[in-house]
Amino acid sequence: MFPNPQTILWWTLLSCTCASVVCSSAPARVLVYTATERFRHDSIPTAVEALKNQSSNINVVFDHTEDQTQFTDPVLAGYDAIMFVSTTGEGKASLMRHPVLDASGKAAFQHYLNLGGNFVGVHSSSDSLVNTTFYGNETGAYFDYHPVIQNATVDVVDASHPSTSMLPAEWHIQEEMYNFKSDPRAIGAVVVLSANESSYIDTGTRKFNQGTPHPSAWFQEHGAGVESGNIAGRSFYTSLGHLNETWQANLWRFFPDPLFMAHVIGGLTWTLGANTTRAFNASGLVGNAGSSTSSTASSSAPALSPSDKYAFFC
């Protein structure tokens, strides 16, 4: 069978990624957290599998958990990034509901961020820990509401960023178009994707000022969840990712979601490029210790310029 154009696009995106990653170095470790205290997306298992499928392409090991007791200083210290995917809710435990993070989990998370830890949020992660100020700042803005899922267009605002450089200028997606309670630019985020509000119908009332253009994805060079006087890692957030189909390499569709995965993976690998964690910085205070560059490893490794070493996407 001859591969169809979408398959070729997929291979191209992946091989282009892999070629520019130092695949010989020990991997970065990322903790994928998908705890839900409220609405549960049935795309969560698909998302986790899709991320794990990218592992060898980007030299990242993904550990997945919904267990808030993993949020302790020693456990989090092993990660180069914490990634919240479609988490919902806060911390009130009840018979029917598990807290997303309790006070001690939040304290460990704050401590992780203070040590240069990185953060990635996807989709309803902006609708979790809504009473946790440092988390809201690390995310950039909280979710307010969305109109029904429908076809819509998002515009690339900053095509120079690794999360958007492969996207068409006007990207057609089927998605819940999120509205936010504040403008992420107000805490220093840079918006990379914006919603074209005339490309879909929103009958709700936008009560908050989320800024212009309407933010859909953004990054922070220095995640604002850090407490002052500490080392800030990077933060990336995208509001996309509701459907299974979005996470699946759906080769028969015209907008198959190699583009979505490339967007998410581009955001993640850019975030890891903060160089504040051990996979990339031997003096990092958190991150995968197995990957600190030893003199033996560096002398036996092929000569690479620093830009090669850290360029994940071409």
| Sites for ligand NAG among residues 186-245 (CB under 6 A) | 187, 196, 198-199, 231, 244
Can you state the percent helix, strand and coil of the chain, rounding each to 5? 30, 20, 50
d(CA 277, CA 287): 5
Within 8 A by CB and 6+ apart from 13, the residues are: 166, 258, 261, 262
Q: Which of residues 53-92 bind ligand NAG (CB under 6 A)?
A: 53, 90, 92
What are the φ/ψ torsions at residue 260 (nearest 5 degrees)? -65, -45
How far is Cα 95 from Cα 28, in angstroms, rounded to an integer? 37
Can you state the angle between helices 258-272 and 5-19, rounded to 10 degrees?
10
- Which of positions 1-40 make contact with ligand NAG (CB under 6 A)? none
Q: Using CB under 6 A, pick the residue from 70, 97, 211, 255 that binds ligand NAG.
A: 255
Closer to ligand NAG by CB, 146 or 309: give it: 309
Binding span for ligand NAG by CB under 6 A among 19-27, 61-69, 93-101, 274-282: 274-282
DSSP 3-state of 217: strand
| 293 lies in the site for ligand NAG, by CB under 6 A | no
Note whether 306 binds ligand NAG by CB under 6 A: yes
First to last CA, the chain: 29
Q: Stretches 93-101, 120-128, 202-210, 306-314: which one binds ligand NAG (CB under 6 A)? A: 306-314
* DSSP codes of every residue in 95-139: SS---S--HHHHHHHHHHHHBT-EEEEEGGGGGBSTT-HHHHHHH
Q: x/- binding map, residues 109-148, to ligand NAG, per CB under 6 A?
A: -------x-------------xx-x--xx---xx------
Which DSSP helix (H) or strand (E) runs through 179? strand 179-180
Among the listed ranges 3-11, 23-31, 55-63, 304-312, the one in contact with ligand NAG (CB under 6 A) is 304-312
Name the minimum Å distance from CB 16 to ligand NAG. 18
User: Number of H helices and number of E strands within the chain?
Assistant: 10, 11
CB of 133 to ligand NAG, least distance (A): 5
**Per the structure block, which two tokens stand in for 246?**
């979005």
Binding positions for ligand NAG, rule: CB under 6 A: 42-43, 45-46, 49-50, 53, 90, 92, 116, 130-131, 133, 136-137, 141-142, 151, 153, 155, 170, 172, 174, 182, 187, 196, 198-199, 231, 244, 247-249, 254-255, 273-276, 281, 283-285, 306-307, 309-310
